[in-house]
A and B are shown apart, each in its own frame.
Chain A
Amino acid sequence: MINALIFICALPFSVWLLANICCVFDEPKRAPAALRLVASLCVLVGFLLLTSATFWQPIIWALALVVVAHLLSYYVLFRPSLGAAIYRQQPPTTPLLVDEEPEGHPYQ
């Protein structure tokens, strides 16, 4: 039961950690992002030390799930079948006078 609770609580933490990891590669100046990553890793390590590393498994599972979910969401967005419908309607009539042949004059 406690493992399930830790797993659920670790999910948002994992998203935050993943964001901080990615942030390191986002900006040309990496030092501030690296500091934030270190801070979040410290939280993780601190928690594990405080609990004598009893709950490392649900945390790892949460991290793995978040990474897989992010990969999945990316490929769902990117999959080839993605596409909004296109409706093109032909009106019953059109007011344009479009019976001309502007190019190609074979009758000269």
Chain B
Amino acid sequence: MNWIAPLSELSLADIDRVGAKAAHLGAMMRAGFNVPPGFVIDVDAFISHFGEVTDPLVKPTPPRLQAELMNNVMQALLTYLPDAGELAVRSSATDEDGQPASFAGQHSTYYFVTPNRIDQAILDCWMSLWSRAAIAYRRSGWVEVSSGETPRMAVIIQMMLPATRSGVVFSTDPVVADSTDCVIEATWGLGAALVDGRVTPDHVRINEDQGLYSYHVSDKRMQVSVSAENQAATRLQEIGQDQRNAPVLSTFEAYQISNTAAQLETLFDAPQDVEWAFVDDELFWLQSRPITSLAREHTFTEPLVIFKPLAENFTEPLTPLTEDLMASVLPKIGAFYEGRLYLNLDKLQKLNVFDLSEAELVDAALLRGLPDRLHISWQKLLKILPALGLAFLFDGAHWLRTQRASYAALARYADFTAAVKNNTKLTLQQAARQLIWGRWPFEPIGFRIFYTNVSAGRYFAYIGLLKAFTRRYAPDFPQEQLSTTFHGRGDMQSMELLKQTDYLSALLYRSLEADAELADKVAKIIKGNASELPSDSEFALAFETFLQGFGHRGPKELELASPSWRETPTELLKLLYNNPPREARVDQIHGNHLAARDTLNQHLKPWQRRITSFLIGRICHYMALRENTRHFHIMGFDTLRQKVLQLEHQLLREAKLRVAGDIFFLTEAEIGDLQQDEISATDAHTLIRKRRRDWQRQARLAAPLTLNIDRPVEVARGDLSGQCASPGDIQGVARVVTSLSEAHTLCAGEILIAPYTDPAWTPLFPRAAGVIVATGSFLSHAGTIARELQLPCLVDVQDCTRLIQTGQKLHLNATAGTITLL
């Protein structure tokens, strides 16, 4: 028996003999694609060593490798890979990469194998057929184990490529329905860091009509290195600052990959999912397989609607630890599905006192507004009134206390978070509970900051009353100006944040002109070659003061895995550096607010003015309360993160975790088990890798807005409309900014098009003439800031970052909720 077949002689007809992966590689080589040379040990060798597998769920005893096989392998190495110093040993199982199961990630591949250790690598590759992950995969029911097809494994041995750049290309977007885009993901070094989720790759989209229309450069912190000095130790390395945010591919290379992916799609007659790698400038193809379905399947039947206030803060799913801690402290009003929080529509229906259809209720839950005319259902009201009475009896005191809660009362939360942080006896869950709900009943209101935040949402009711009142008594007053009567007072922390970042930007630019040493240091910090500002400079002092007040804020601040500005001051410095000083508009905005109130008053009689004045006062109070409590409850999240980092530091020191950030992919119970040695570091590592992959898969998918609801609430593709978050009507040029790393590209007077926004985006707003956001609602950050700055803002414009391109002229009519491409 020979058992050896060179890759160059294989075709798809050999799938049963060498597995799908090897057969595809052979077909690619025969068609002329640049595939690293190698050979395959076929499934007959496997059968000769293991016999026929009778139960794929029971792991056999590893056999001794037969001398005949090793002789043949050594001969093949001399024949097909005479110059290969290191090898890649890859699985190619007969039930892998097929329909309906891919077994991706369940079988092993080994890199950097030297020829003298190849026997062990072959044996380990075979044994990975019974890896815990593969058995769990079979047991999960995703693959039929009783079909009579027993799994077997061939082993591919190829030259190890010293890849400098690598990634994946999907010849057709597997995530967005009906899309014909080719999607490329690219990172530095080997693709392993990309595929197990440790690196967020660059994301490139190319289509026939627009060519390369989107290149999103990610912050790539790690790479799997191929440098010789790292061979003995772990190859996972930090990437230098100059490379982290640099694009991996040139435009030409992106087209080269895209075109070849299209050719592979033709060759295999199906959309392909292809792995590629560059060795310097030479492009190699490592694997190709059909894109398998990404259809979501779930077994629960609850009708769920996404919880917009959380979903609009960032588009990625929550990490498992954040999800676990949030789930443990939130009431059972919904459920987490794939890292996103959903509300249960049945429970919302019970609280609804209006005559709303299910579709209208879904729209309301998605914060897309209510019908113009609301009819109270007296039957429902009679049912719910006793419940409301009881709610008042059980928690009315807290409700009433928020009527006068001042900023000083809320600021006491800072002391509270310090106490929680210093209490080392608290578990993460206990700390989360205390930070969200407080420690004891009747504590100062500032300690129950999250609850205060939620109760402040009642300003909606006051806005409804004000609208109804002005419609009745001031019919001539333009309703689109009504929001100016209660926005623009500048008493929110977000506006204070904006003022402070503007001040810091101006100071930075002034200091850079006057102080050559500071300019040099700032340039070095931004390039990643230095970390600390000269401590005696005026700017450094002001920067430090800012971090004391706002250091707990930053991007994705409801996600525990996301570092705050205090932890990553360089990111804040970049933001300031890319935010040239501009004329302050705050006074003008406040003037507009006062003018609108005067105009409204002119339409009203004195007693009516008193009522509107009261209503506007309440709206302003509760809006500021909501925004300011957010400023503080983010402080609670930051405190919780610090506690998680303390735990992580300890686990890294004890070598129970391998890489910073891994802890966010375990649940609290699993972290406890790891501390107590009830699960091994190896098992934890396996689990973390799987969770990282799952998280990446979830992050690729747009979160469904509804689940188990007959009428899906999706905006049709190509329909450029959205929800008005701040009224206005302008024409201008679009600037698509998909991440903060592109923030500096926004020029004054352009219309900002963004996937989402959070406080870290705030400094961009005054530069924009208008704002269009793919997610969000009236309550979202984009809406709040835009209203304060009196900028037209449209939110919930699905897919806007794809449908609108930088440089396009737009007519944004936020009041009507429409965008017209000019």
Cβ-defined contact, A18 with B397, below 8 A: yes
Cβ-defined contact, A26 with B328, below 8 A: no
Residue of B273, B331, B334 near A82 (CB, 8 A) is B331
Q: Which residues of A contact B295 (CB under 8 A)?
A: 91-92
Bound together, the chains give a CA A16 to CA B190 distance in angstroms of 65
Cβ-defined contact, A98 with B693, below 8 A: yes
Cβ-defined contact, A87 with B298, below 8 A: yes
Within 8 A of A (CB), among B390-418: 392-401, 404-406, 408-409, 412
Cβ of B291 within 8 Å of any chain A Cβ, yes or no, is: yes
Bound together, the chains give a CA A22 to CA B438 distance in angstroms of 14
Cβ-defined contact, A108 with B114, below 8 A: yes
Cβ of A51 within 8 Å of any chain B Cβ, yes or no, is: no
Q: Which residues of B contact A103 (CB under 8 A)?
A: 234-236, 658
Cβ-defined contact, B331 with A70, below 8 A: no
Write the nearest CB–CB distance from A61 to chain B, whole angstroms: 13
Residue of B117, B196, B275 near A102 (CB, 8 A) is B196
Q: Which residues of B contact A44 (CB under 8 A)?
A: none
Q: Which residues of B contact A108 (CB under 8 A)?
A: 86, 112-114, 117, 231-232
Cβ-defined contact, A99 with B104, below 8 A: yes
What residue in chain B is nearest A36 (Cβ atoms)?
Answer: B404
Cβ of A93 within 8 Å of any chain B Cβ, yes or no, is: yes
Chain A interface size, under 10 / 10 to 19 / 20 to 34 / 35 or more: 35 or more
Given the known inter-chain contacts A26-B401, A77-B331, please indicate yes or no for A106 contacting B393, CB distance below 8 A.
no
What residue in chain A is nearest B96 (Cβ atoms)?
Answer: A99
Q: Which residues of A contact B300 (CB under 8 A)?
A: 85, 87
What residue in chain B is nearest A17 (Cβ atoms)?
Answer: B397
Q: How many interface contacts (CB-CB < 8 Å) are there between A and B? A: 227
What residue in chain A is nearest B396 (Cβ atoms)?
Answer: A15
Within 8 A of A (CB), among B63-111: 86, 89-91, 100-102, 104-111
Cβ-defined contact, B235 with A27, below 8 A: no
Cβ-defined contact, A97 with B195, below 8 A: yes
Write the nearest CB–CB distance from B795 to chain A, whole angstroms: 25
Bound together, the chains give a CA A93 to CA B294 distance in angstroms of 7
Cβ of B337 within 8 Å of any chain A Cβ, yes or no, is: yes
Bound together, the chains give a CA A73 to CA B391 distance in angstroms of 9
**0 or 1 for each of A15-53: is its CB under 8 Å from B? (1 = yes):** 110110011011111000100000000000000000000
Q: Which residues of B contact A104 (CB under 8 A)?
A: 234
Q: Which residues of B contact A18 (CB under 8 A)?
A: 397
Cβ-defined contact, A89 with B445, below 8 A: no
Cβ-defined contact, A26 with B445, below 8 A: yes
Cβ-defined contact, A93 with B101, below 8 A: yes
Cβ of B488 within 8 Å of any chain A Cβ, yes or no, is: no
Bound together, the chains give a CA A59 to CA B224 distance in angstroms of 72
Cβ-defined contact, A90 with B287, below 8 A: no
Bound together, the chains give a CA A6 to CA B811 distance in angstroms of 62
Bound together, the chains give a CA A94 to CA B441 distance in angstroms of 48
Cβ-defined contact, A97 with B395, below 8 A: no
Within 8 A of B (CB), among A58-75: 65-66, 69-75
Cβ of B696 within 8 Å of any chain A Cβ, yes or no, is: yes
Cβ of B292 within 8 Å of any chain A Cβ, yes or no, is: yes
Cβ-defined contact, B324 with A86, below 8 A: yes
9 more CB-based (< 8 A) A-B contacts, given A15-B393, A90-B694, A103-B235? A71-B441, A84-B341, A87-B336, A91-B294, A91-B296, A97-B289, A98-B195, A102-B111, A108-B231
10 cross-chain pairs, A with B, having the tightest CB-CB distances, nearest first: A98-B105, A93-B292, A102-B192, A100-B192, A19-B400, A107-B113, A107-B117, A15-B396, A73-B394, A85-B335
* Interface, chain B (partner A; CB < 8 A): 86, 89-91, 100-102, 104-114, 117-118, 120-121, 140, 142, 168, 170, 174, 190-193, 195-196, 198, 224, 231-232, 234-236, 273, 275, 287, 289, 291-300, 323-324, 326-338, 341, 392-401, 404-406, 408-409, 412, 433, 437, 440-442, 444-446, 658, 693-694, 696-697
* Interface, chain A (partner B; CB < 8 A): 11-12, 15-16, 18-19, 22-23, 25-29, 33, 65-66, 69-75, 77-78, 82-108
Name 28 interchain pairs, CB-CB below 8 A, sorted by A: A11-B393, A22-B398, A26-B405, A27-B408, A28-B409, A28-B412, A65-B393, A73-B394, A73-B395, A75-B441, A77-B437, A78-B437, A82-B328, A84-B332, A84-B341, A85-B327, A89-B296, A94-B104, A95-B104, A96-B195, A96-B697, A97-B104, A97-B168, A97-B195, A104-B234, A105-B113, A107-B121, A108-B86
